[in-house]
């Protein structure tokens, strides 16, 4: 349990003294809640840190008395950060706030008692009326809400370099089988069809292949039990995923998502499947949308928004609780979201943000996100549709699947 014996003792001691328990940090130091806020995220590398910096700049302006302590740990999708964070939470050493995703990803932290219910902030800031209903649902566990969303990212995107496609006389594929046809032609010309990175990017690709092949309903059914992993459609989609992977550089995969995208920029690879944080990264490389890079929905998923939402928590025992509340208010504010998202390659979670701030790729993204005919599904890789345990089981099964290509065994591993 996150409510450690030590914290209980401290809280108990203070109750006896008649002081509010929240006036004590996890380290036992008295704290009036202001002064400093330690925020833990994985936004440390190009394409990630610019958004955080913009959010922090807005936060500083509105909270001049609070020092921002940036505890970011680099590594795409938080793979390294999540391990570091887990150790800190286990050791009763929480930051004042940490990055997570809307959706089931937070289930184990809630169960362990690591995070506080922040519905009082939702009431105070009237966030429920200012966020999409579906997002609020994804944030709600047994009627309680444990984090504050700062954005909406889209996962199902296929990035390319328009000049490279032009050279090869190609237009982006509308289905994964079309991609495979193009891949054969690209190979003959010495171009790698698809660049890929570490394990989480392979999971991200799997999610996009499943979505493209099964459609929004079939994909959603994978997570609510309506779609059979061992049925023919999923088995065929898994077999196709293996073929797609064979057209990538998985054997010599890039160390993270940015170098995988670099191959597309350089023209040594034709395509890369990645979320729209890629837009932020490509802009840091001084590329212009529709000139140096472009994007379409990943094959078979046009008009579907495979969404995820970065959100921040209030850990139990946060040493600077009042400053942490100010940070969460910042994350949920229009000014914070409109500072952050144009730099982050995401669209605002809030419905009342200033759309004029979103240009280039983001103008298209916001139009599609707010179009009532767009179908919304939740990301597997980025926390929406699978809890921690299930997601970890998929990671284990996928690491084997990439080696042995056994679709039935994979389905077994995933449903066990
Ligand atoms: C996701 C996160 C994004 C972006 C991406 C790559 O999990 O939601 O904001 O940081 O990882 O690191």
Over residues 51-84, the pLDDT tens digits come to 999 999 999 999 999 999 999 999 999 999 999 9
pTM over 0.85: yes
- Which residue, 122, 121, 128, is CA-closest to 321? 121
Partners of 141 in beta bridges = 144
Q: How confident is the model at residue 262 (pLDDT cuts 50, 70, 90)?
A: very high
> In angstroms, rounded to a whole number, what is the distance separating the alpha carbons of residues 392 and 105?
10
Q: What is the number of structural domains in the chain?
A: 2
Q: How confident is the model at residue 366 (pLDDT cuts 50, 70, 90)?
A: very high
Give the start-end residues of each E strand in 73-149.
97-101, 140-141, 144-145, 147-149
Residue 371: inside a domain, yes or no? no
Over residues 324-362, the pLDDT tens digits come to 999 999 999 999 999 999 999 999 999 999 999 999 999
**CA of residue 78 to ligand 1 center, whole Å:** 7
Residues 163 and 271 in one domain: yes
Residue 366: inside a domain, yes or no? no
Q: How confident is the model at residue 214 (pLDDT cuts 50, 70, 90)?
A: very high
Residues 33 and 84 in one domain: yes
Our answer on whether the CB atom of 149 is closer than 6 Å to any ligand 1 atom is: no
Length of the chain: 416
Residues 230 and 353 in one domain: no
**CA of residue 200 to ligand 1 center, whole Å:** 11
Residues 169 and 293 in one domain: yes
Residue 43: inside a domain, yes or no? yes
**CA of residue 21 to ligand 1 center, whole Å:** 34
- pLDDT for residue 8 is more than 90: no
Q: Give the chain's mean pLDDT.
A: 93
**CA of residue 394 to ligand 1 center, whole Å:** 19
Question: Residue with the nearest Cα to atom 10 of ligand 1?
Answer: 77
| DSSP secondary structure, 107-123, as one string | HHHHHTT-B---HHHHH
> In angstroms, rounded to a whole number, what is the distance separating the alpha carbons of residues 281 and 285?
7
Residues 213 and 270 in one domain: yes
Structure tokens that stand for 102 in this block: 């809307």
Residue 91: inside a domain, yes or no? yes
Backbone angles phi, psi at 348, to 5 degrees: -65, 145
**CA of residue 374 to ligand 1 center, whole Å:** 22
Residue 275: inside a domain, yes or no? yes
Question: Residue with the nearest Cα to atom 5 of ligand 1?
Answer: 77
Assign residue 111 the CATH number of its domain. 3.40.190.10
User: Domain containing 210: what range?
Assistant: 157-300+386-415
User: In terms of DSSP H, where are the helices of 226-332?
Assistant: 232-246, 257-266, 277-284, 321-331
Our answer on whether the CB atom of 51 is closer than 6 Å to any ligand 1 atom is: no
Residues 234 and 324 in one domain: no
- pLDDT for residue 312 is more than 80: yes
User: Atom of ligand 1 at shortest distance to CA of 75?
Assistant: 12
Residues 287 and 320 in one domain: no
Residues 15 and 121 in one domain: yes
Residues 268 and 397 in one domain: yes
Residue with tokens 């929004």: 216
Our answer on whether the CB atom of 153 is closer than 6 Å to any ligand 1 atom is: yes
């Amino acid at each position: 349990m996150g409510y450690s014996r030590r914290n209980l003792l401290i809280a108990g001691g203070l109750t006896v003294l008649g002081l509010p328990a929240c006036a004590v940090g996890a380290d036992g130091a008295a704290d009036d809640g202001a002064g400093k806020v330690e925020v833990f995220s994985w936004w440390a590398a190009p394409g990630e840190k610019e958004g955080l910096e913009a959010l922090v700049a807005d936060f500083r302006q509105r909270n001049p008395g609070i020092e921002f302590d940036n505890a970011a740990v680099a590594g795409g999708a938080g793979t390294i950060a999540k391990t570091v964070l887990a150790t800190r939470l286990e050791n009763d050493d929480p930051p004042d706030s940490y990055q997570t995703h809307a959706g089931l990803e937070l289930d184990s932290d809630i169960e362990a008692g690591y995070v506080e219910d922040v519905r009082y902030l939702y009431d105070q800031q009237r966030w429920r009326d200012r966020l999409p209903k579906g997002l609020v649902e994804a944030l709600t566990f047994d009627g309680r809400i444990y984090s504050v969303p700062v954005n909406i990212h889209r996962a199902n995107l296929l990035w390319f370099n328009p000049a490279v496609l032009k050279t090869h006389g190609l237009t982006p594929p509308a289905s994964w089988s079309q991609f495979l046809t193009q891949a054969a032609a690209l190979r003959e010309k010495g171009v790698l069809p698809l660049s890929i990175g570490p394990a989480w990017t392979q999971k991200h690709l799997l999610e996009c292949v499943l979505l493209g092949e099964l459609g929004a309903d079939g994909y959603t059914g994978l997570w609510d039990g309506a779609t059979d992993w061992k049925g023919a459609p999923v088995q065929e989609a898994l077999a196709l995923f293996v073929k797609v992977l064979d057209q990538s550089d998985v054997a010599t995969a890039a160390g993270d998502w940015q170098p995988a995208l670099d191959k597309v920029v350089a023209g040594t690879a034709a395509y890369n499947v990645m979320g729209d944080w890629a837009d932020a990264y490509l802009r840091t490389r001084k590329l212009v949308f529709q000139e140096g890079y472009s994007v379409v929905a990943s094959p078979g998923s046009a008009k579907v928004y495979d969404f995820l939402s970065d959100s921040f928590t209030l850990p139990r025992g946060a040493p600077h609780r009042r400053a942490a509340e100010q940070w969460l208010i910042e994350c949920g504010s229009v000014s914070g979201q409109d500072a952050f998202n144009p730099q982050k390659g995401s669209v605002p979670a809030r419905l009342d943000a200033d759309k004029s701030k979103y240009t280039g790729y983001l103008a298209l993204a916001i139009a599609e996100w707010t179009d009532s005919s767009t179908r919304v599904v939740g990301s597997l890789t980025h926390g929406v549709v699978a809890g921690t345990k299930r997601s970890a089981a998929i990671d284990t099964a996928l690491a084997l699947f990439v080696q042995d290509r056994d679709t039935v065994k994979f389905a077994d591993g995933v449903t066990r």
